[in-house]
């Protein structure tokens, strides 16, 4: 595998990871049980920009998948540029997860690029392409490269969520190796 070449579920305590990536249309999500087992993924579309509807759908994912760790974007980190609505949503999701004693990990766009730099991927599309190669089940979802006049394809939310989860596994592996 590209980003996680020497890892196996045997080397890593298997835990359920839910990564959520809010977007302007809803959110993308992925669920992993260890770095090699992608359990579920998808895009939840929200008809309106209703904060309560977004929270209800994210809460439903948390309830259904019962993750040990929730991974989100670090909105205060380098490279992140979220609007007020998404920033508020992420903060609320994190607060609710903490109340449920779910471990939280947050990674900035810069940390994601740092993790994927080991395989030469720096742009969102390059990162998504690496993910699609490593997890072939996601390959049909990979949108073509976006032109500057195009809006982002909704399916990219799945790859953004996967990038968050894989960044979590990457840095967990790096810290374990250096310990």
**Which DSSP string corresponds to 50-70?**
-HHHHHHHHHHHHHHH--SEE
Residue 31 near residue 41 (C-beta atoms within 8 A): yes
So what's the pLDDT on residue 9? 46
Domains of the chain by range and CATH? 16-144+153-178 (3.30.420.10)
Q: Quick one: tokens of 178?
A: 């250096």
* pLDDT per residue as tens, the chain (179 positions): 566 555 554 444 568 999 999 887 889 999 999 999 999 999 998 876 677 888 889 999 999 999 999 999 998 765 566 678 888 889 999 999 999 999 999 999 999 999 999 999 999 999 999 999 999 999 999 987 877 876 766 889 999 999 999 999 999 877 666 55
Tell me, yes or no, if the pTM score tops 0.75: yes
The rounded Cα 7 to chain-centroid distance in angstroms is 19
So what's the pLDDT on residue 80? 63
Distances (CA, A) of 37 to 34, 112, 134, 162: 6, 20, 11, 12
**Which DSSP string corresponds to 127-166?**
HHHHHHHHSGGGGGG-PPPPPTTSPPPTTHHHHHHHHHHH
């Amino acid at each position: 595998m590209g980003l996680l070449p020497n890892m196996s579920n045997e080397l890593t305590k298997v835990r359920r990871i839910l990564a959520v990536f809010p977007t302007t249309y809803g959110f993308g999500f992925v669920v992993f049980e260890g770095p090699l087992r992608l359990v579920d993924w998808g895009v939840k579309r929200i008809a309106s920009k209703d904060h309560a509807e977004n929270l209800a759908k994210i809460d439903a994912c948390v309830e259904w998948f019962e993750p040990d760790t929730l991974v989100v974007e670090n909105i205060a980190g380098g490279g992140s540029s979220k609007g007020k609505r998404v920033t508020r949503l992420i903060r609320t999701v994190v607060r609710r997860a903490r109340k449920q004693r779910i471990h939280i990990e947050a990674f900035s766009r810069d940390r994601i690029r740092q993790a994927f730099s080991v395989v030469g991927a720096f742009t969102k599309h390059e990162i998504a392409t690496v993910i699609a190669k490593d997890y072939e089940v996601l390959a049909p979802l990979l949108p073509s490269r976006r032109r500057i006049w195009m809006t982002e394809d909704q399916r990219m939310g799945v790859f953004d969520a996967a990038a968050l989860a894989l960044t979590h596994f990457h840095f967990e592996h790096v810290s374990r190796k250096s310990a």
